[in-house]
Structure 1
Amino acid sequence: MRTAAPLLPVLALTLVLAGCGQGSGPPASDASPTSPNDPRFQPLDAYDMSDDDVVTVGRARWTLAKECMVRLGFEDLENLDIDPVPAWPRRPAGTGMLELTAYASDDLRYGVQDPEQAARYGYQAARIEHEHRYPDRSWTLSEYLALTGQFVGEDPKSVHGHPIPRRGCLGEADRAIHGTNPQDRTDPVLDLGTKSIQQGMAAPAWKQADQKWSACMREAGYRYATPRDAELGEDRRSQELEQRLNGSSRDPDEPSALEKRTATADARCKRRTGYVRTVHAIDVHVQKELIAEHRAKLEAQRRWNDDAARRAEEILEDRS
């Protein structure tokens, strides 16, 4: 199950992958699925990095990045707390770029499923889950550039008289652990996981599940063709924008009452129609077909992950 913070955010959009929650975040089970009927069971997970290895790699990555930052002249970061590891650095506001962040969670692969969770978090459980797992920290522009190497316009390419490594200190750490920057290569687990959903949604049984769910939502007063339409909620976003323009004091990062009601109806209709059970079975079937077709590529990815985890363990042992 993928629980890592983002490997590298692009200039306009950051994709954050969050796995099982912890602490006071949204309720999610840390236990691995024990049955193929569990909607968390994904055949492709067998080729992905394990939860424990993700933690090990993350700690090694930030250990190396911290050493790099001290080398570049940020001596005050020598005692940076990396347990748990920080969230991916965000560029300071007002410095020439707007970052939009999209969050995804394995536990929400088929959208909201728990009415109680939906009533509390709306469609934002993945974001809240990630924020509880990876503490956010404010960085200066110099620190951000040194960590990420993500330059915009006339951003300086050096700090304290030292050139910033390619992709920053975090990128340098990635190369030490993985041999290359992960974002420079295709991850077949992610790639095939996306293809599985796309192919599954085209199946007649999946479309029928969407139709049953949509009919249930109409009875509750909502008109959406698919759960994805409800999550995007273009109509809801228009209402919320109008409310903000009219002086609403609601925190825009928190789910609105309308979003919570919609998400709750969504989750209830999934339960009433057996939606998740149906689409999960289709998804598993498609994943198994894709695995058979791309097994060599997936086995190579598993070896690549194992090698990275081993190097990360060695890095941490050398510094213990």
Structure 2
Amino acid sequence: MAGAALLAALCLGGHLLVPAGAGSSPPRAGARDIASDLRVSLPLQAYQLTPREQADADQALQLLVRSCMERAGFTWYVPAEPRPKPDPLARRYGVVERRTAERYGYHPPADKSSGEIARRRERILSEPGADVAYFGSQGAKNADRNAGKNTGRGGAGCASLAQRKLMAGADGYRGDIGAQLSWVSLEMSRKDPHVISARRDWEKCMRSRGYRYESPEKAIADPAWHLDSPVVGSRERATALADVTCKETVATVRIWSRAEGAIQRRLIRENAARLNETRRGLEAFRRTVRAVLGG
């Protein structure tokens, strides 16, 4: 379970925003406080991998896969350096960075290298016997049936062997605990009176600029943006920029993150035993990643 949760965490992207120092009754702030709005952190981050650690862990996993594949007589493509991972906090409250809104609108920033990496690995797996080496015998059969979506759990292939080796000694790390509590806190924060008021202020600001969205979530989820397409239109950029401007004007991010920070501290106290176990396992996992990268 811990390994599956970890690998899921390694694949997570997106952004989340929250400033340190959270009070239960945050004061209103004007545009002069924009910079502090964007410096964000949440208490539960202490029980999860940072974006840099996610990149290092993914690199370590692929290096272990490569060693295993080479022993089986195959190559495996691993970039020379860990690939940067997006900050998982930067889109928690929607788009908040002006430069991102101007360039990408509501689209996630483009990842130009992942497609090429996937194509290189697909070419390797098309070689006779390579899929069995990677997935394991049962996993290769499942991969055939599922068009390559198998995760290697079906047998002792290099994918599952590398995962087990990376997680060795880190049984206490349950990456799903921190993530689960994080989503709980986000849902709870939407009911906080200060957050409700801040979201209403954001809606009024957007309405004054000609945009009718009930919430930041509704704005980013507008089907008109076609987020599954790489094309970003001028209307989308303009809307996202207005969205960010309104968040700056009424201090949406500061108010929301402070409220959620208080909720997370309470959840940490209530789940101290499980989270302490998670922290110990996470430290063991970090040591293994450093050893793999150093070796």
What is the TM-score with the length of structure 1 in the denominator? 0.68
Report the alpha carbon displacement of residue 181 of structure 1 after superposing the two structures with TM.
Answer: 10
Tell me the residue number matched to 1:268: 245
Q: How does 1:147-166 map to 2 (within 5 A)?
A: 147=134, 149=139, 151-152=142-143, 154=145, 166=155
- CA distance in 2 between counterparts of 1:307 and 1:291 reads 21
Tell me the residue number matched to 2:29: none
Unaligned segments of structure 2, at least 5 residues: 1-5, 23-35
- CA distance in 2 between counterparts of 1:155 and 1:190 reads 28
Tell me the residue number matched to 2:166: 177
78, 82, 93: which is aligned to 1:110?
A: 93
Tell me the residue number matched to 1:226: 215
Tell me the residue number matched to 1:83: 80
Tell me the residue number matched to 1:306: 283
- CA distance in 2 between counterparts of 1:132 and 1:85 reads 14
Of Structure 1 and Structure 2, the greater strand share is in 1
Q: Return the structure number with greater relative CO, CA threshold 8 A, min gap 6.
A: 2
**CA distance 1:301–1:309, shift in 2 (3 Å):** same
Of Structure 1 and Structure 2, the greater helix share is in 2
Q: What secondary structure does 2:49 align onto?
A: coil
The answer to whether residue 248 in structure 2 is matched with residue 257 in structure 1 is: no
Letter in 1 for 2:158: C
What is the TM-score with the length of structure 2 in the denominator? 0.73
Report the alpha carbon displacement of residue 296 of structure 1 after superposing the two structures with TM.
Answer: 1.2
Q: How does 1:1-320 map to 2 (within 5 A)?
A: 7-8=7-8, 16-18=12-14, 39-50=39-50, 53-75=53-75, 77=76, 80-85=77-82, 105-125=88-108, 127-128=109-110, 131=111, 136-137=116-117, 138=119, 139-140=121-122, 143=125, 147=134, 149=139, 151-152=142-143, 154=145, 166=155, 168-179=157-168, 187-234=176-223, 236-237=224-225, 252-317=229-294, 319=295
**Matched residue pairs, number?**
261
**CA distance 1:55–1:152, shift in 2 (3 Å):** closer
Q: Retained in 1: the 8 A contact 2:102–2:237?
A: yes
- CA distance in 1 between counterparts of 2:161 and 2:247 reads 44
- CA distance in 2 between counterparts of 1:117 and 1:257 reads 13
- CA distance in 2 between counterparts of 1:34 and 1:287 reads 12
Report the alpha carbon displacement of residue 154 of structure 1 after superposing the two structures with TM.
Answer: 3.3
Report the alpha carbon displacement of residue 219 of structure 1 after superposing the two structures with TM.
Answer: 1.4
**CA distance 1:300–1:164, shift in 2 (3 Å):** closer
Report the alpha carbon displacement of residue 51 of structure 1 after superposing the two structures with TM.
Answer: 5.1
Q: What secondary structure does 1:106 align onto?
A: coil
Letter in 1 for 2:122: T
Report the alpha carbon displacement of residue 190 of structure 1 after superposing the two structures with TM.
Answer: 0.7
Unaligned segments of structure 1, at least 5 residues: 1-5, 21-27, 89-102, 158-162, 242-250
Q: Retained in 2: the 8 A contact 1:177–1:311?
A: yes
